[in-house]
Chain A
C-alpha cells in the first residue's frame, strides 16, 4: 500500500518546491525562537526577574501574539501544501505568493509595533487600536491592520488555488469533504484524509479571514473618517470569529501530518472511515459557529448565542477524542512502532491536543467562564495545545523531510535529549499558567501582585527550557533542510 511507503516518490520536492518549503520552514523555526524569547522575557518580567517598562511589555505582548498566531498559520499552511499537492494540482506561485505576502504583512506589523509603538494586542479589540490615550498614533494601528490584511490576502490566495484544485478533481468541495458517504455508499478507501481536512480548513478559514477583513477594513475607514463608528459588540463578534477560526485552522492543517505520516511509522494502515468523515463534516460546522464562547462575559449578547457557544464547545470534543486521538492511539497500539523523532513528535502532538482541550472545554462553560475568563487559565490551555500539540505536528514533518533526504528517520542522541527537554519545559510552563488561572491571576498584565509571582517564576523556568529546546530544533532543522537530499536517493533526488 502506497501510504505505507516511508518516503513516496509523490512527495519528492523539486528544486523550486524545496526552496519554497525551506523558506517556510526555516523562517518559521527562526520566528518561533524569537517569539518564544519575547514570551520568556514577559514571564520573567511578571516573575520580577527582569524589569520591562509597561509600554514595552505590551508591545512585546502584541508582537508575541500576532507573531505566534501568524507563524503557526504559515507553518501549518506548509504542512497542508506538502501533502495536498500529491492529490490535487497546486500552483507553486500561489504557495510562494502566500509566503511573500506573509513577509510583507509581518514587516508592517513589526514596524507598527517597534517603530510605531502599537500595543493593541493581536486581537485589536475595537476601539482600542484607535483609542490608545497617546500610547501610539492611529497610523500605527492602521499599519498593524494593513499587515493583517496582507497576510489574510496571501492565505486566501493559497486557499483559492487549493479549492480550485479540489474542485477540478472532485467536482465540488462537498465531495472532497466526503459528504456523499455520510449516510451510506461505499467509501473510496483511497480518498485521502489530507483532502478531507484541507477542504474543511478552506471552507472555515476563508470565512474567518473574510470576517476579519470586514472588521479591519471598517477600522481603516474609521481611521480615515473619525466620524464613522462601529458597533463594539458586532466588531468583537467579527474579531473573534476571525481569530478563533484562524488559530483553529492551524490545528486542522497541522493534523494532516499525523494522518499522513503516523501509519508509516507504525507500519499499520490508517484507513478512512465513516466516523472519520462524520467527524470532519461536524467539525466544519462546529469551528464556524463555536466562536461565541469567547464572548460569554458579554452579557448583552443574545442568550441563545452564548448557549450555542457552550454547547458547541462541548460538542467539539467528540471528533477530537473519538476519532483523531483515538484513531491515532489505536493505530500505534501493539504495532511494533519505530520510535524516531518524527513518530515521537506525532504522538506528542496528539497528547498535547487531547490534554489541552480539556481545560479549554471547561472554560467554554458559562458558569466556569465567569471566574476563569481572562485569567491565566486561558493562555494555559491554548499554549498547551499549540506548544505541545500543533507545533510538534509541524516539527514532525520537518524531521520527516530531513529523514527523506537520508532515507533514514532522524534519531540522534541530541534529538532524544531535546524532545524530553521540550516536553518537560512545556508541561511546567503551561501548568504554571493553569495553576495561576485557578488562583485568579489575571492575564495580559505587565506587573503582578506579589502573591502571584511564584506562578510567574515557575512559568518562566518552564519557558526557558522550551526556548533552549526550540533553539536546538531550529538549528538542527535549518541545517538539515538546507543540506538537502543526498544524491542517489530516489525519493528526493535533486530535480
Chain B
C-alpha cells in the first residue's frame, strides 16, 4: 500500500465522519426539543465538546511527534555523506541530471539500497522536482529554485524506470518537462 493510500483513507474517514455528524444533526434539527430535553441535550453537547477537544489535542500531539521527531527534510547546510550524488538543474523546459563520477552525456543510472543525494536548483524560474516511481506515484519532491540548492536524501528500494516531472508551473512547456532515469537492483541484492 502506497503512503498516499493511507493519507487518502485517513482523509476519507475523517470527511465521512464529519458528513455523518452533519446528517445526524440536520435530520434532527427540524424537531424542536422540549425544555427538559434541551437542558439534557445541551449538557451532553458540552460534554462531547470537551471530549472532542481532548481527542483533537491527543491527535495534535501524537501526529506532531510522529511526523517531526525525525525531521523529514535533511540538513541543508552540510554534506549528506551519500554514496551517490546527483546534481539537478531545472530550466525552462528541461531537466539536466548528472551523477558525480559518471561520464558526462551518459544516461543516469542509480543503485537501489544506498542513499542518493539530489542537489536541486534552477537556472531561471521556480520548478518542482518530483520523482515518480515505476508505479506512477510520487516518492519524493522538492522545489528547484534559482539562487538556492535544495538537497534531497533518498534511498530507492525498487529497481526500475523512475520519471521526473515538473510540479511547479513554469510556463508554456511545463507539462512536457519530463525526464527519466534507471535504478538498478542493489549490488548483491
Residue ranges of A at the interface with B (Cβ–Cβ < 8 Å): 54-55, 58, 61, 119, 121, 125-128, 131-133, 135, 231-233, 236, 266, 297-300, 303, 306-307, 310-311, 314-315, 317-318, 321-322, 326, 329-330, 332-337, 339, 347, 350-351, 354-355, 358-359, 362, 365-368, 370-375, 434-435, 437-440, 442-449, 451
Q: For residue B139, which residues in chain A have a CB less than 8 angstroms away from its CB?
A: 371
Cβ of B103 < 8 Å from any Cβ of A? Answer: no
Rounded to whole angstroms, the CA-CA distance of A371 and B45 in the bound complex is: 38
Tell me what chain A mostly uses at the interface: helix, strand, loop, or mixed: helix
Contact of A232 among B3, B5, B29, B146 (CB under 8 A): B146
Q: For residue A359, which residues in chain B have a CB less than 8 angstroms away from its CB?
A: 11, 15
Given contacts A266-B29, A336-B31, A368-B7, contact A300 B56 (CB under 8 A): no
Given contacts A297-B143, A330-B45, A440-B137, contact A362 B29 (CB under 8 A): no
Whether A333 lies near B45 (C-beta < 8 A) is: yes
Cβ of B30 < 8 Å from any Cβ of A? Answer: yes
Contact of B68 among A366, A440, A449 (CB under 8 A): A366
Whether B25 lies near A329 (C-beta < 8 A) is: yes
Q: For residue B136, which residues in chain A have a CB less than 8 angstroms away from its CB?
A: 439-440, 449, 451
- The residue on B at minimum CB distance from A336 is B32
User: Which of B82-90, B107-115, B122-130, B180-188 sits within the interface?
Assistant: B122-130
- The residue on B at minimum CB distance from A55 is B172
Whether A365 lies near B174 (C-beta < 8 A) is: no
Rounded to whole angstroms, the CA-CA distance of A311 and B37 in the bound complex is: 40
Contact of A440 among B4, B37, B149, B174 (CB under 8 A): B4
Whether B138 lies near A232 (C-beta < 8 A) is: no
Q: For residue A365, which residues in chain B have a CB less than 8 angstroms away from its CB?
A: 63, 67
Residues of chain B from 37 to 82 with CB closer than 8 A to chain A in the complex: 37-38, 41-42, 45, 49, 52-53, 56, 60, 63-64, 67-68, 71-74, 76
Inter-chain residue pair count (beta carbon < 8 A): 219
Contact of B64 among A61, A314, A443, A448 (CB under 8 A): A314
- The residue on A at minimum CB distance from B21 is A329
Whether B126 lies near A445 (C-beta < 8 A) is: no
- The residue on B at minimum CB distance from A447 is B175
11 A-B contact pairs sorted by A residue (CB < 8 Å): A58-B169, A127-B124, A310-B68, A332-B25, A334-B41, A335-B29, A336-B31, A347-B22, A370-B140, A373-B167, A374-B167
Whether B64 lies near A310 (C-beta < 8 A) is: yes
Whether B145 lies near A444 (C-beta < 8 A) is: no
Rounded to whole angstroms, the CA-CA distance of A318 and B61 in the bound complex is: 13
Rounded to whole angstroms, the CA-CA distance of A126 and B126 in the bound complex is: 8
Given contacts A135-B171, A314-B63, A326-B52, contact A371 B30 (CB under 8 A): no
- The residue on A at minimum CB distance from B140 is A370
Contact of B8 among A121, A266, A434 (CB under 8 A): A434
- Name the distance in Å between A138's Cβ and chain B's nearest Cβ: 14
- Name the distance in Å between B22's Cβ and chain A's nearest Cβ: 5
